Amino acid sequence: MSKKDKKEDIEKEQLESVQNETETVEAEAQQSEEQSLEEKLQNELKQEKDKFLRLFAEFENYKRRTSKERIELFKTANEDVMKALLPVLDDFDRAYAEISKTKEKDLLKGVELISNKLKSTLEQKGLAPIKIKSGDVFNADNHEAITQIPAPSEDLKGKIIDVVEKGYTLGDKIIRFPKVVIGQ
């Protein structure tokens, strides 16, 4: 073999080697592009799933909140009507107290029937009187003090002495606080 042939063989080998390397690099580049494209698509899919889950959770919270608000609205929808009827209940109580002092039992029975019917109807709609009595501990969150008087005894200091006006609740909400006199 001549030098020329050897040179050509070496050049061919080098050329084949370079071509093989080029093909290998290109194949690796294509494979890495496919992997990066796949990774990119997987990341986008994860982000979209996360967005969907957050949106779904937000929608569930919205449904729960509006449902709760609607229930609260139905519970207290009659609040204005109930507040308007409270003075009527007070008047019935005062009339009953005055008529019970007289000897007219038929009139007393009539007022009592009407009063009981009105009270039971309002109770069916969720109205309930707040039960307090003399000697209960005064709580500023649940009672409205209209005045303080000297306590008749030491054990009544800071406690309710008299209830001037009944309080009422509609469901769990207080619509009128009881007005009380407390001892000092």
Residue 163 β-bridge partners: 180
- In this predicted model, what pLDDT tens digit does every residue of 86-117 receive, in sequence order? 999 999 889 888 888 888 888 889 888 999 99
Residue 3 lies in a domain: no
Cβ contacts of residue 157 below 8 Å, gap of 6+? Answer: 151, 183, 184
Model pLDDT, residue 153? 84
Q: What is the pTM of this model?
A: 0.59
Residue reference for tokens 């307090």: 132
pLDDT band for position 30 (cuts 50, 70, 90): confident
| Residue 1 in this model has a pLDDT that exceeds 70 | no
Average pLDDT over residues 173-179: 92
Do 109 and 131 fall within a single domain? no
Average pLDDT in the chain = 86
Residue 181 β-bridge partners: 147, 162
Model pLDDT, residue 4? 66
Q: Which structure tokens are listed for 96?
A: 């009953």
Do 177 and 136 fall within a single domain? yes
Residue 7 lies in a domain: no
Residue 57 lies in a domain: yes
Domain final residue pick, 77, 97, 114: 77
Do 94 and 59 fall within a single domain? no
pLDDT band for position 3 (cuts 50, 70, 90): low
Task: Look up the domain containing 64 and give its range.
Answer: 13-77
Residue 38 lies in a domain: yes
Pairing outcome for strands 127-129 and 173-176: unpaired
Q: Between 86 and 27, where is the model more confident? A: 86
Residue 8 lies in a domain: no
- In this predicted model, what pLDDT tens digit does every residue of 51-86 receive, in sequence order? 999 999 999 999 999 998 888 777 767 888 889 999
Q: Between 18 and 165, where is the model more confident? A: 165
- In this predicted model, what pLDDT tens digit does every residue of 115-174 receive, in sequence order? 999 999 999 988 999 998 888 888 888 899 999 998 888 888 888 999 999 999 988 889
Do 42 and 87 fall within a single domain? no
Residue 54 lies in a domain: yes
Residue 97 lies in a domain: yes
Cβ contacts of residue 92 below 8 Å, gap of 6+? Answer: 111, 114, 115, 118
In the chain, the number of structural domains is: 3
CATH number at residue 178: 2.30.22.10
Model pLDDT, residue 121? 92
Residue 31 lies in a domain: yes
Q: Using the 8-state DSSP alphabet, how is residue 136 labeled?
A: P
